[in-house]
Amino acid sequence: MKDNKVLLMHQIVKGEDFYTLPGGSWEAGEKLEETCQREIKEEFNIDVEVGKLVFLLDTTTRIAFYFLCTYVQGEIELGGPEKDRMHEGEQYYVEWVDVDKIASLNMIPRIAKSGLQRVLSRTEKELFLLNES
């Protein structure tokens, strides 16, 4: 987070326009917090301070761990595999989105939007689990 905004990946793939939370795959030997820092650096070219684990998302393909992070430094720039895959039919944009606009976004997976809203509204004080089913 930075200035009451959340960093999201805006994607337009095969005509579908949606947003996702930053993420990626854990590599052997990494702590989850290190995975979070590495993935954000690879995809967005910025350094973050990884805070507390705020929610888990259980999907059909993986369990995702979401941390509350604070921007430290760097200029936002698309990187990682998204940059390599970018073409007319598959577009990626890194965007700071005002927290007040989250409710109107199309997010994938949809349940991640619910988790993000719960964290941003500060109604959840403890770690929580969401199931995509």
Q: Report domain extents, the chain.
A: 5-131
**pTM for the full model?**
0.87
Strand partners, 91: 12
d(CA 13, CA 20) in angstroms, rounded, equals 12
| pLDDT at residue 124 greater than cutoff 70 | no
Q: What percent of the chain has pLDDT over 70?
A: 98
**Mean pLDDT estimate for the chain:** 92
Class of domain 5-131: alpha beta
Q: What string of DSSP letters covers 118-132? A: HHHTT---S-EEEE-
What's the pLDDT score for residue 6?
Answer: 93
